[in-house]
Amino acid sequence: MSKKPKPRSAPRRPAPAPLPTTTLWVSSQALDRQMLDYTAAEDRLWDGRLIAWDILGSLGHIEGLRASKLLTQGEYLRLRAGLRLALREVDAGRLTVSPEHEDVHTCVEEWLVQRVGKAGERVHTGRSRNDQVATDLRLYLKDRLLLLSAEALDLAESLLGFATKYQRVLWPGYTHTRRAMPSSAGLWAAAFAEGVLDVVEALPAIWTRVDRSPLGSAAGYGVPLPLKREAAARALGFGALEHNVALVQNSRGKLEALVLFWCVQLGHELAKLSTDIITFSADEFGFLILPADLATGSSIMPHKRNPDLFELTRGRAAALEGDLLTVFQVKSKLGSGYHRDFQLIKEPVMRGVDRLEGMLSMLAVAVPRLGVDPAVGRHILSGGPLATDEVMRRVEGGSAFRSAYREVAAAIKEGDWWREPATAEIIARRRSTGGLGNLGLATIRARLRACRRWSDREQKRFDAAMDRLAGRGGARGRA
């Protein structure tokens, strides 16, 4: 008798998360558990990153309420003490967004009401979660932008260090992936340093857009209360207000896209740099050297030394572009006002920012450890890639360019090679601005310092506002 096959048990579904018991809103009906879980879902995870900013945002908001005379001094002091304690609880890991809360705003308000009682019920006066989350996100973005800018500048500094050290090491420059003309380790690295600076220098324009306070716009239409929006904005260290209350919601997604576009520009710079490193350190090229401790191995081929770190940088730059695209897709078809779709923008923004952060800090460490092999670079350079140098030498001797070009082309055809210039001569003949004999590294360094001054100034201003709100000296709001 053949054995009956055992019925395969259906794959177990993971236990559903507990019902969010706390929502800030009330419903006349019992709520569908699946709906609540579906709408909050993984958003709590991303909200977890906002908790300190949410509390700091509330600390700014109560400054606005006080200035608007919407709180008594006693209520204000109780709220302030409660919120400051909440921040310390977050730092100690005792206050976190958990599955009982619909979102971070619910979590903080519920905690506050438990701590400070009736006064806690006043914290949401003149505010909606719509302007609250917009505020949280802007504080988060300001913090991350300053970090990313500092890391991008560190990378630019690494590249400049590499350029300085190896500025006299020649290797070929390529067009169409074919050897073209002399380039150098210095020219190559300094171009990336300038490329990174170009992007960092665009930051102040984005910053002024992010650096506007949404508070007081409430659900998107303001509130019929005498709110002094400026007071909350000032307390939070924002440079300005997001003026039109309806614009706050219209800007959601637009701002994030602006930030991610900036990130993508840096990502592309890093991807190009990575591709070059992968190529130039391959055996077939070999004039750039990947140190053994930065290379991975193969489980089957004992000789392999792989440039995974650069491949993953290139891959992450592509994924970062995907993050930007997600934001565009989610935001672009919505009418004005708040839409719950906006919630889905948090994930690509936070993922994208994380990706870039990791890429920048890894490359800033990796670049100074790259080596060069000057003999290999010089060897590959010989012959064809020096043909243009010979044309120009003849031009300087009085020949018309086109006839010098034809003469050298004919000589190449005949195999009648000319004397090759020495490395020093190749460099010395390139004195025009920005050429490999005149990299202008000091000017690039000055640009870098100017960017650092800007970032340091904004960082100080931001930290000072957060520290004042938190009632602490020195420590910063956590991401």
- Whole-Å CA distances, 243 to 212, 217, 253, 461, 477: 8, 9, 17, 21, 26
| Out of 58, 68, 106, 130, the residue judged to bind ligand ARG by CB under 6 A | 130
**Contacts with ligand ARG, 412-451, as mask; x by CB under 6 A:** ----------------------------------------
Rounded least distance, CB 68 to ligand ARG, Å: 23
Is 109 a binding residue for ligand ARG by CB under 6 A? The answer is no
Is 106 a binding residue for ligand ARG by CB under 6 A? The answer is no
Rounded least distance, CB 278 to ligand ARG, Å: 39
Is 127 a binding residue for ligand ARG by CB under 6 A? The answer is no
Helices 73-91/104-116 angle, 10° precision: 120
Q: Considering beta carbons, is residue 58 or 313 the nearer one to ligand ARG?
A: 58
Rounded least distance, CB 25 to ligand ARG, Å: 8
Length of the chain: 479
- Whole-Å CA distances, 107 to 33, 39, 112, 127: 18, 16, 9, 16
Residue 107: which H helix or E strand, with range? helix 104-116
Using alpha carbons, select from 58, 68, 237, 80 the residue that is nearest to residue 132: 58
- Sorted by sequence, the CB contacts under 8 Å of residue 426 that are 6+ apart come out as 170, 182, 386, 389
Q: Considering beta carbons, is residue 215 or 367 the nearer one to ligand ARG?
A: 215
| Out of 338, 405, 454, 462, the residue judged to bind ligand ARG by CB under 6 A | 338
**Contacts with ligand ARG, 343-382, as mask; x by CB under 6 A:** x---------------------------------------
Given the rule CB under 6 A, which of 128-136, 284-292, 297-305, 463-471 is the region that contacts ligand ARG? Answer: 128-136
Residue 315: which H helix or E strand, with range? helix 308-332
Is 140 a binding residue for ligand ARG by CB under 6 A? The answer is no
Rounded least distance, CB 29 to ligand ARG, Å: 17
Residue 287 φ then ψ, to 5° = -90, -10
Output the six-digit token pair for 255.
């701002």
- Sorted by sequence, the CB contacts under 8 Å of residue 28 that are 6+ apart come out as none
Is 136 a binding residue for ligand ARG by CB under 6 A? The answer is no
Using alpha carbons, select from 118, 128, 112, 125 the residue that is nearest to residue 75: 118
Q: Considering beta carbons, is residue 99 or 435 the nearer one to ligand ARG?
A: 99
User: Burial, 414: exposed, middle or buried (Cβ in 10 Å; 0-12, 13-18, 19+)?
Assistant: exposed
Distance CA 203, CA 269 (A): 15
Instruction: Give the 3-state secondary structure of residue 213.
Output: strand
Q: Considering beta carbons, is residue 4 or 25 the nearer one to ligand ARG?
A: 25
Is 103 a binding residue for ligand ARG by CB under 6 A? The answer is yes
Distance CA 51, CA 69 (A): 27
Place of tokens 């007081």: 216
- Whole-Å CA distances, 455 to 142, 143, 223, 363, 379: 11, 11, 35, 20, 43
Rounded least distance, CB 340 to ligand ARG, Å: 6
Given the rule CB under 6 A, which of 175-183, 261-269, 336-344, 378-386 is the region that contacts ligand ARG? Answer: 336-344
Applying CB under 6 A, what is the total number of residues that bind ligand ARG? 9
Is 342 a binding residue for ligand ARG by CB under 6 A? The answer is yes
Is 256 a binding residue for ligand ARG by CB under 6 A? The answer is no
Is 183 a binding residue for ligand ARG by CB under 6 A? The answer is no
Given the rule CB under 6 A, which of 107-115, 127-135, 313-321, 381-389 is the region that contacts ligand ARG? Answer: 127-135
Residues of the shown chain interacting with ligand ARG in the complex, contacts defined by CB under 6 A: 43, 103, 129-130, 133, 338, 340, 342-343
